[in-house]
Structures are given as C-alpha cells and as structure tokens.
Chain A
Amino acid sequence: DAGVIQSPRHEVTEMGQEVTLRCKPISGHNSLFWYRQTMMRGLELLIYFNNNVPIDDSGMPEDRFSAKMPNASFSTLKIQPSEPRDSAVYFCASSLEIIKGDTQYFGPGTRLTVL
C-alpha cells in the first residue's frame, strides 16, 4: 500500500520566490496535517484538515503561508514570498479519523532551503 506521498523531496529556492509543497494522503484517510521541523523549534503543527476542510490553522506562521485541500487526495502548502527562515523540513501526515486517537502516518518530508 502506498503511504503518504510528498513532492518535491528537496527544494532549493531564492528568497522572495514562491514555493509550493504537495501532498497525497493515504487513500481513505479523512484527516491531513502539515508540520514543520527545525532544529530550534522541533516539530510544529501548521494546519490540519478534516474531510478537506481546514479545521485549525493557528500554527501557520504568517500570511505568507497558505494551505489548500481541493479534494480528498491532494493538498498543497504554499509560501509566498519565501524567506531564509522558512528553511526546514515540511512533513505531511494523514489519519483515518473515523475514531479519535487515530495514528498519523507521515510522508517522507520535503527539505526546503531558502537562500
């Protein structure tokens, strides 16, 4: 079975450029989560969706960040304009969410470097 798929795996861009990260959750999973991991702050939840609807985006750093989930099998996280401090590994995770406490399964992550 395919796990959570993220693309690209690595992204290097220059400050000011737009960056789009993509995620395909596990088929049948109803909840999707975006995390950011840095050495300084560890794992931070940015936003999560349930049935394609954003439920909590309080972790989104600022207006430069936006996330969408147009359908059950696809989500994007966009940074515009990007800044060097956005450099991090961005993880997407999904869970069934039919019952509470479902396990989150993580994608391989996208390593973003903003020069």
Chain B
Amino acid sequence: AQKVTQAQTEISVVEKEDVTLDCVYETRDTTYYLFWYKQPPSGELVFLIRRNSFDEQNEISGRYSWNFQKSTSSFNFTITASQVVDSAVYFCALRSNTGNQFYFGTGTSLTVIP
C-alpha cells in the first residue's frame, strides 16, 4: 500500500525562523518518486521538487532544503529564515514506478507571522 503522512496539520512561526515540515511515506516498491508541492492562498499547486528513491542526496535551493532518508522513510522539507510569502499549504506526494497515481499527504498549513 502506498501512503503519505504529514502529521503536522498547522504550523505557525515568526518571520526569519527556520521551520521543518515532516513527511513520512509507505511503499513496498523499490523504485519510487517523492514530491513537494506548495499551495499558496491563491490556490494553485506549485511544484517544488522531485526526488527518486535511488538518490538520497539532500538538496538545497535557496532557502529551501530537503532531507531524504530511506532508513526512516522520510522526506522532510526545511525553510530557512522563513518569510511571510512562505505562508501556504505544503503537500508531500509519492508516486511509484508501477503506476501513474500520485498519493498526496493531507498537507501542512504554514503561517509565517511578520
């Protein structure tokens, strides 16, 4: 069974604080893909990152970084020095190599307080 769990429903931080959004996944596949999407208040879903299961290297993009650990089935997302524009709902998703379906977590709503 494929499943993505985002245990944090809502997080509030003060601007410039660092924040980590957790994502834990379940799959029996050896090849799979993990994604993060951002949904700002305007409502669109914006693609942030895609990782495949064979690449455990952490990735950094500006203030964003991702920590992929197969040993704990986690793909956590950290925002450094958060800004008000980071306020959004963030979704983690899993896609196996054997099907087309995405399995989305329930999302984490991040509010950055100025």
Cross-chain contact of A106 among B45, B52, B101, B106 (Cβ < 8 A): B45
Task: Name the residue in B32, B46, B100 with the highest tally of chain A Cβ atoms < 10 Å from its Cβ.
Answer: B100
Bound CA–CA A26/B45 (angstroms)? 15
* Contact status of A101 and B50, CB under 8 A, knowing A56-B100, A109-B44, A111-B43: yes
Chain A 81-113 interface 0/1 with B at a Cβ cutoff of 8 Å (1 = within) = 000000001010101010011011111110100
User: Which residues of chain A come closer than 8 Å to B104, judged between CB atoms?
Assistant: 42-43
Q: Is the interface of B mostly helix, strand, loop or mixed?
A: strand
Bound CA–CA A23/B69 (angstroms)? 36
Q: Is the CB of A43 within 8 A of B100?
A: no
- Interface size counted on chain B using CB atoms at 8 A: 22
User: Which residues of chain B come closer than 8 Å to A97, judged between CB atoms?
Assistant: 100
The residue on A at minimum CB distance from B45 is: A106
B64 within 8 A of A: no
Known: A91-B45, A101-B97. 14 other contacts (CB 8 A): A42-B107, A43-B91, A55-B100, A56-B101, A100-B31, A100-B95, A104-B47, A105-B47, A106-B37, A106-B45, A106-B46, A107-B44, A108-B43, A109-B44
